[in-house]
Chains A and B, each alone.
Chain A
């Protein structure tokens, strides 16, 4: 829910930026107006938040680096922001953190290798449980056959 909201903010900010000539890149001296800079900054912040909310804070319990007030989380957000500013894609940034901390750093594990079990097992357990309940209910509701 939160990620969807952040993505929506990013899309709106980028759309606003694209609609305004003020946001056009200037190859000469910096000539952005404060309004254009603010829009670009808010777009970058929204994109940073979107990526940061998918990365686990290493010094917290189950929190993303976006939600955590820890100093390390804040510094990791800075890394995300700097890499986005340098033109890296969100997946490249996530790959960077995975190369340093392992898959553990992703709040949502990728659906590959043994991780597939994380996604498949709950579904199989629910189906198995439902089947078990159906069998039991049928057995209880079926009248006993009289041997006579």
Chain B
């Protein structure tokens, strides 16, 4: 009779254990995004930090997502008050330089921050190779389902979001995604490997 009770207890406990196992092996802060695979939301944002050399865009210039068709877009949301953004800054800036001359556009979007603070932050960290734009009232951030910074979106050459990265992005992740989305045989197909982190 005891073995019957043991089987019933095990059957009752199994779903509860499975539920806990499911819950404890997931990051409760991670929100699954419905955006990868979909068209990148349109935006029209003004440049406040120009970037450097061949990647530079004049301050006040507007950048539209549709103008970037045919390029892989690396869209990074950041803020000067965000500590984790410091961790990825150098990786992104170096990757921007390394993909210069190829159909790749790196673009920073300032989130809930003042452009002056953003410019000071960039200067403090030794510059940023690619331009950054302002996002008034966070409309673009909300369009991209943002809930914190840093977040990075990689958009393919057809304007579809291929990947969304939460937290500081690594050189390996950037290289894997950007390389996989670049058209094969594009000019300068071999680029130096970004510094691994």
**Partner-B contacts on A (CB < 8 A):** 58-59, 71-72, 75-76, 78-79, 98-102, 104
Restricting to B121-176, which residues have a CB under 8 Å from any CB of A? 137-139, 141-148
B33 within 8 A of A: yes
A79 touches B32 (CB 8 A): no
A100 touches B144 (CB 8 A): yes
A104 cross-chain contacts in B, Cβ below 8 A: 31-32
A75 touches B148 (CB 8 A): no
Chain A residues touching B, majority SS: helix
B112 touches A100 (CB 8 A): no
A72 touches B147 (CB 8 A): yes
A102 touches B34 (CB 8 A): yes
Q: Which residue of B has the minimal Cβ distance to A72?
A: B138
A59 touches B147 (CB 8 A): yes
Q: Which residue of B has the minimal Cβ distance to A101?
A: B145
A102 cross-chain contacts in B, Cβ below 8 A: 31-34, 145
Listed by A's residue number, 28 A-B pairs whose Cβ atoms lie within 8 Å are A58-B146, A58-B147, A59-B147, A71-B112, A71-B138, A72-B138, A72-B141, A72-B146, A72-B147, A75-B137, A75-B139, A75-B141, A75-B142, A78-B137, A79-B139, A98-B34, A99-B34, A100-B142, A100-B143, A100-B144, A100-B145, A101-B33, A102-B31, A102-B33, A102-B34, A102-B145, A104-B31, A104-B32
Shortest C-beta distance, B52 to chain A (Å), equals: 31
Cα separation A85 to B41 with both chains bound (whole Å): 22
Q: A100 is contacted by which of B32, B35, B137, B148 (Cβ under 8 Å)? A: B35
Q: Which residue of A has the minimal Cβ distance to B34?
A: A102
A76 cross-chain contacts in B, Cβ below 8 A: 142
Cα separation A71 to B33 with both chains bound (whole Å): 21
A75 touches B138 (CB 8 A): yes
B33 cross-chain contacts in A, Cβ below 8 A: 101-102
B32 cross-chain contacts in A, Cβ below 8 A: 102, 104
A79 cross-chain contacts in B, Cβ below 8 A: 139, 142
A100 cross-chain contacts in B, Cβ below 8 A: 34-35, 41, 142-145
Cα separation A93 to B33 with both chains bound (whole Å): 18
B139 cross-chain contacts in A, Cβ below 8 A: 75, 79
For B32, B35, B142, B143, which residue has the most chain A Cβ atoms within 10 angstroms? B142
| Apart from A99-B34, A100-B35, A100-B142: 13 A-B pairs, beta carbons within 8 A | A58-B31, A59-B147, A59-B148, A72-B138, A72-B142, A72-B146, A72-B147, A75-B137, A75-B141, A100-B143, A102-B31, A102-B34, A104-B31
